Structure 1
Amino acid sequence: MTYASDIAFTPAVKAIQERNGSRRAYAKLERSGGWHTDVTPDLKTFIEAQTSVFLATANAEKQPYIQHRGGPAGFLKVIDVQTLGFVDYAGNRQFISSGNLADNPKAYLFLIDYAHRRRIKIWGTARVVEGDEELVADLMPPDYKARAEQVILFTVSAWDANCPQHIPQRFEASSVAATLAARDARIAALEAELARLKAVG
């Protein structure tokens, strides 16, 4: 690849960009440095705040598959500037992602923060690690009630952040609950103060 974005901007993609008038802008972006190829501090902060991510793989027949993975914030960890990792918890035991990665290591992570209307796309390769209890212990979120089955390590090739256009704004239930609890506590405090002032008056 000449540019990191070539991982997604294939000749066919560039031809369509040219036909639709966006190639010049993307060519300028490429020449100015374009997409990142390692994990920056800002990306690390974003990654480790996520509670939900999507892992895309494809099998030997090039059939794509997207798998949701979730857990407490920090379940997807930055191991170094090139490597991400997470514990793969026991689930429905279909092992589609594992089988795909055995055939084809190319993979993709899609992270979306609905509250701040931000999404990150990460291209790379991934592999399954079985039987490494030390690695599981390093990556397992503390006190999380799930059974570890294996680990998936993801090597970053390139990443890009999308614009917020068309992302609906949604909030985590826990964040909403905390905000409502703070509001209710404030209302209770004000009502108590009002009752005190009335009693005095």
Structure 2
Amino acid sequence: MTDRSLSSDVAFTPAVKALQQRKGSRGGYRRMEEKGGWQTTVTPELAAFLAERDSFFLATASADGQPYIQHRGGAAGFLRVIDERTLGFADFRGNRQYVSLGNLSENPKAYLFLIDYARRQRIKIWGTARVVEDDPALIERLRPEGYAGTPEQAILFEIAAWDANCPQHIPQLIAAKDVAAALAERDRRILVLEAELARARAIA
């Protein structure tokens, strides 16, 4: 396999590899490359990770390379697996600046960044994206059930490569709804124990 065919080359450009060489990390990444580079299709593990995410970051760039990152949120699993190389989501109306859509109209290269703060896991996905406005059936298929709002279009993302980062430096954060559920369960358990204690004292 030549360097040109490595999936990780989507990120490891010659300039990046030169810096890795100078700073001492090229050897480790070369060993990764010798095993075939990064994943290029959706695995069961990636599908399970996506199904639990209720937000992600979408990065695009204009024709002259000006980058832009936008947060997308919705119901858990709103970023759907279409097939082993394609992801998609219904794009709901927001502030109507349309920066991401404008960028994709002239530069299809895109990037997804997904993070699970509770488990300190993150996934990076490189690829290309396109906007679909004239397929109502697709848009409805991607619309999360019961989610308020009207989708304006769908965005389909074709995977070029993806990789999982180590948990280093990721702060562990717990979603407010999960904290509330844990506190509610604690309070319920306290009431049960207090009732059991009261009955025991009455018998004594």
With the shorter chain as reference, the TM-score category is over 0.9
Is 1:154 the counterpart of 2:157 in the alignment?
yes
User: SS state of the match for residue 67, structure 1?
Assistant: strand
C-alpha offsets along residues 107-138 of structure 1, whole Å, 9 cap, x if unaligned? 00000000000000000000000032111111
Whole-Å Cα distance in 1 between the matches of residues 37 and 172 of structure 2? 28
- Aligned partner letter, 1:181: A
| Uncovered stretches (5+) of structure 1, i.e. residues with no partner | none
What is aligned with 1:51?
A: 54
Partner of 1:76: 79
Give the distance between the partners of 1:165 and 1:115, measured in 2 at CA: 13
Picking from 134, 139, 159, the partner of 2:142 is: 139
Please state if 1:85 is matched with 2:119.
no
Which stretch of structure 1 is more off in the superposition, 127-136 or 12-21?
127-136
Distance across 2 between alignment mates of 1:190 and 1:51 = 35
**Aligned counterpart for 2:178 among listed residues 165, 175, 180:** 175
Secondary structure of the residue aligned to 1:48 is helix
User: For 1:17-62, what per-residue CA distance to the aligned partner results, in whole angstroms no more than 9, with x for missing partners?
Assistant: 0000000110011001221011101000001110110000000110
Q: Note the alpha carbon deviations across 1:128-168, whole angstroms, 9 max, x for none.
A: 00032111111111111122111000000000000000000
- Give 5+ residue unaligned stretches, structure 2: none
Q: Distance in 1 between matches of 2:94 and 2:150?
A: 9
* TM-score normalised to structure 1 length: 0.98
Aligned length: 201
The Cα shift of 1:74 comes to 1.0
Secondary structure at the residue paired with 1:175? helix
Partners of 2:25 and 2:56 lie apart in 1 by 29
Q: Distance in 2 between matches of 1:48 and 1:126?
A: 20
Alpha-carbon distance in structure 2 between the residues aligned to 1:160 and 1:199: 61
Question: 2:105 aligned with 1:99, yes or no?
Answer: no
TM-score, length basis structure 2: 0.97
Match 1:28 to one of 23, 31, 36: 31
Question: Partners in 1 of 2:78 and 2:72 — Cα distance?
Answer: 9
Secondary structure in structure 1 of the residue aligned to 2:138 = helix
Q: Which residue of 12, 16, 20 maps to 1:9?
A: 12
Residue 19 of structure 1: which of 19, 22, 28 is its match? 22
- 2:93 maps to amino acid: A
Structure 1: 4+ residue segments shifted above 4 A: none
